[in-house]
Amino acid sequence: MTALPRRQQNRLNRERQILEAALTVFAAQGYSGTTMDAVASEAGVTKPTLYSYFPSKESLFQAMMLGKRDLMLDVFDHPGRKGMVADLWSFAWAYADTVMRPDMLSLARLIIGEVSRFPEIGRAYQASGPDHLLRGIMRYLDDQREAGRLVFEDAELAAQDLWGLILSAPRTQALYMPDALPDRETLSRYITNGLRVFLRAYSTTPAQDQEQLAALTNPDR
């Protein structure tokens, strides 16, 4: 891979720095309580520098959320050589490692608390977060259906099933019990069972795929 010019790489690094700072501030202050001044201070940049990257709080929030979702979708945008089951396993853990972060959970709680007074905040969160992720999952599942590996009539429902099966219960618990976050073993239990159920329902070769999943979850088996 060709290295980026230094100026371009520096800009990318600064942008990542700003986005991480934005997550810290949004997670602590919520959307309505966050100011560009606070983000600039957290990022260690001047306010004019911040505005040169993101012209508004809305564009900063959207870029922050889209960046997190793009990380989760990377495996679907660039499928691996080990096949569909390995891709689903990698996605499930990328999803868990992102949405179960304490700062992401804090942000979600604050958004939930603000939407009744500021419905536009909920719409912005939904559009740049869950809706964006759902479309990426649907694209991948559609590709697998066309390749003959999955069978379903409604890509959105299949994507929602995958999403819900792998992590819905532990994430919901974590949203309301921040002092009792699940450990890796618990997350693995939910992810593994969710993928088993999904493959049983949608795979065209469920027995074979179940074996591949078992090999991923128990590499010494």
- Could you tell me the sign of the dihedral formed by the alpha carbons of 203, 204, 208, 212, in that order? negative
In angstroms, the CA 31 to CA 124 distance is 10
- The pLDDT of residue 100 is 92
Q: Which of 147, 129, 170 is closest to 87 using CA atoms?
A: 147
The fold for domain 64-217 equals Tetracycline Repressor; domain 2 (1.10.357)
What is the tens place of the pLDDT at every residue in 108-129?
A: 888 888 888 888 888 887 877 7
- The pLDDT of residue 188 is 95
Q: What are the domain boundaries of the chain?
A: 64-217
| Whether residue 3 has pLDDT greater than 70 | no
Q: Which residues does 119 contact at the CB level (< 8 Å), separation at least 6? A: none
What is the tens place of the pLDDT at every residue in 49-63?
A: 999 999 999 899 888
- The pLDDT of residue 52 is 94
In angstroms, the CA 154 to CA 170 distance is 26
What is the tens place of the pLDDT at every residue in 124-177?
A: 878 777 888 899 999 999 999 999 999 999 999 999 999 999 999 999 999 999
In angstroms, the CA 61 to CA 83 distance is 34
Integer distance in angstroms from the first to the last C-alpha of the chain?
A: 36
- Could you tell me the sign of the dihedral formed by the alpha carbons of 100, 135, 154, 86, in that order? negative
What is the tens place of the pLDDT at every residue in 19-51?
A: 999 989 988 888 888 999 999 999 999 999 999
- The pLDDT of residue 4 is 64
- The pLDDT of residue 221 is 44
What is the tens place of the pLDDT at every residue in 52-104?
A: 999 999 899 888 887 777 777 788 888 888 999 999 999 999 999 988 989 88
- The pLDDT of residue 49 is 94
In angstroms, the CA 24 to CA 143 distance is 36
Per the CB < 8 A criterion, the answer to whether 194 and 166 are in contact is yes
Q: Which long-range contacts (CB under 8 A, 24 or more apart) does 20-23 make?
A: 22/60, 22/61, 22/64, 23/64, 23/68, 23/103, 23/104, 23/107
Task: Give the residue carrying structure tokens 């993928």.
Answer: 195
DSSP label at residue 2? P
Q: What predicted TM-score, i.e. pTM, was given to this entire model?
A: 0.82
Task: Give the residue carrying structure tokens 């942000």.
Answer: 107
| Whether residue 2 has pLDDT greater than 60 | no
